[in-house]
Structure 1
Amino acid sequence: MPKITVGLAMTLLIIGNIIGVFSDALIKTLPADTAIYQFVLFRQLTAVLILLPFCLLSNKQSLFAGLKWHFIRGHIWLLGTIFMVFALGALPLATVNAIFYTAPLLMLPLAMILFQEKLTSHSIAAAVLGFIGVLIVVKPTQINWAAIAALVVALTMAVNNLLVRKLPQHHNVFQTLMLTNLVGIPAALGLA
């Protein structure tokens, strides 16, 4: 991989994490009596509206191909978003984010189960050390319903990341994100 591509990827990863933490911090400031399902609905509608211009400018090649997988991912995403709002409202930001970061660790056993991938001793050791690190940050005494909600979010992120393999190769990031949010809107509307 050329250095410019690696540097760009690292920069985008850092920017994405900063935006994610900023988004989490904004959710943390919501009043306790916020209507969560309405918030989730408006979050999805906003995401679609923001992503739509980028999708219209990108390739028009069969946008709705692989709709079944977008539908599955969209509803998993919706479930994760609901649990995310619950977890962020009840736990400190650092604790929630530490639990969210177990998603890549959860991907290892899920990839083995869903895609019959072989795990190496190095990947297993890295996952075990990662989970130990999360337990150090979270402390087992802090595990309650909100921590379990955060773990559900990490699980939904892990499954969504793995299911990207099932999406059409010609879909770019904007199309994938837009369709993931778009297909979940009817269910979010029903919940709202």
Structure 2
Amino acid sequence: MDRNVLRGVLLAFLAYALFAVSDASVKLLKGSLPVYEVIFWGALMGFVILPLVRRPGERYADAFRARDWRLWFVRAGAAMTGSLGSVMAFTWLPMAEAFSILFLLPAFVTIFSVVFLREQVGWRRWAAVVMGFVGVLVVLRPGFREINPGHVGAFVGALSSAVTIVMLRALGQKEKRVSLYGAGLLGPLIGGFVLMLPSFVWPSAEQWLWLAGYGLLAAGGNALLMLASGLAPASLVAPPQYSQMIWALGFGYWLFHDRLDVPMLAGVLIIVAAGGFTFLREKERGPKGWRRAPLVHPQ
């Protein structure tokens, strides 16, 4: 493997580690702040890496401009619902369980790519999609365990992230990168601000610590992911996302004392295997697939 490509892959692993710690920071809030307020502060802190996102010739004001406003607003809305869903997931669920549902992302991307981008998908990738949903059924075991808002949030997070990736594929050649990144921040920033007003609570010192962990570490992860994407193709930068499951299991055991039973672990393995197969198939397809994935974390 080329040295720069290897550096890119290693940076991707580090980026996803930061995302995992960011998600753990949400869980450490223990639902003590309204979800809308959490995503508002997280989005506000995301602006710290705007100088790194801006390419030469782009202006900061371009973060608030678009050529295709319709798809730009879809991107902003998906960022809002994705942030909302992921915060709900990590607030209510064990980290490993939340990640297992969020890892349906490749399956949803496959479905949306066929529906909206008219991409051709073979039976192997459809088999991976079915396999991913089977894994979720094993994890959830509907009818045998309670389904809570965290499960709904995780599904919404996965769906929204898939919409984000499809929108970025569609807009990648049309919009400036700073504009696409701005939409991803302005959606949760404005939506979170409006929705948090009726129940706004000024955070305590401890809550500020976890909010900073959530927002700043996610921003740092995005910065590293952009660096990684500049060194290695997205088809190699995306699969390290599954390393988050290792962090989730570790945090869940040592920090949150989560208990995962055998069926849940089996479902997690099925979902990870299905997503990993999808990434491999996309790599074989070349530039039409995950090589056109976003340069920033979709959630």
Q: What TM bracket, shorter-length normalisation? A: 0.7 to 0.9
Which shifted more, 60-69 or 145-154?
60-69
Q: Tell me the TM-score normalized by structure 2.
A: 0.56
| Unaligned 5+ runs, structure 1 | none
Query: CA 1:150/1:122 → structure 2, altered by over 3 Å: closer, same or farther?
Result: same
2:14 pairs with 1:12:
no
Measured in 1, the distance between the counterparts of 2:114 and 2:105 equals: 15
Decide whether the 8 Å contact of 1:100 with 1:154 is kept in 2: yes
CA distance in 2, matches of 1:138, 1:15: 30
CA–CA distance in 2 between the matches of 1:53 and 1:93? 32
Please name the residue that 1:114 is paired with.
Answer: 116
Measured after TM superposition, the shift of residue 186 of structure 1 is 2.5
Q: CA shift at 1:5, angstroms?
A: 4.7
Residues 38-117 of structure 1 aligned to structure 2 (within 5 Å): 38-48=37-47, 50-55=48-53, 58-61=55-58, 63=62, 64-66=65-67, 68=69, 69-117=71-119
The reply to whether residue 190 of structure 1 matches residue 194 of structure 2 is: yes
| Matched-pair contact (CA < 8 Å) for 1:47–1:178 | no
Rate the CA distance shift 1:125–1:168 in 2: closer, same or farther, 3 A.
Answer: closer
Residue of structure 1 aligned with 2:167, choices 163, 166, 169? 163
Render the CA deviation track for 1:124-166: whole Å, top value 9, x for unaligned.
1222233334444454445613212211110000110111023
Task: Name the count of aligned residue pairs.
Answer: 188
Which position in structure 2 is the counterpart of 1:150?
154
Corresponding letter in the other structure for 2:171: L
Report the aligned-residue RMSD. Answer: 2.4
Structure 2 unmatched runs, 5+? 197-299
Cα deviations across residues 74-110 of structure 1 (Å, max 9, x unaligned)?
2211111112211211110000001111111111111
TM, length-normalised to structure 1: 0.84
Distance 1:93 1:102 in 2: 15
Once the 2 structures are TM-superposed, how far is the Cα of residue 8 of structure 1 from its aligned partner? 3.4
Contact map agreement 1:41 1:185 (CA 8 A) in 2: yes
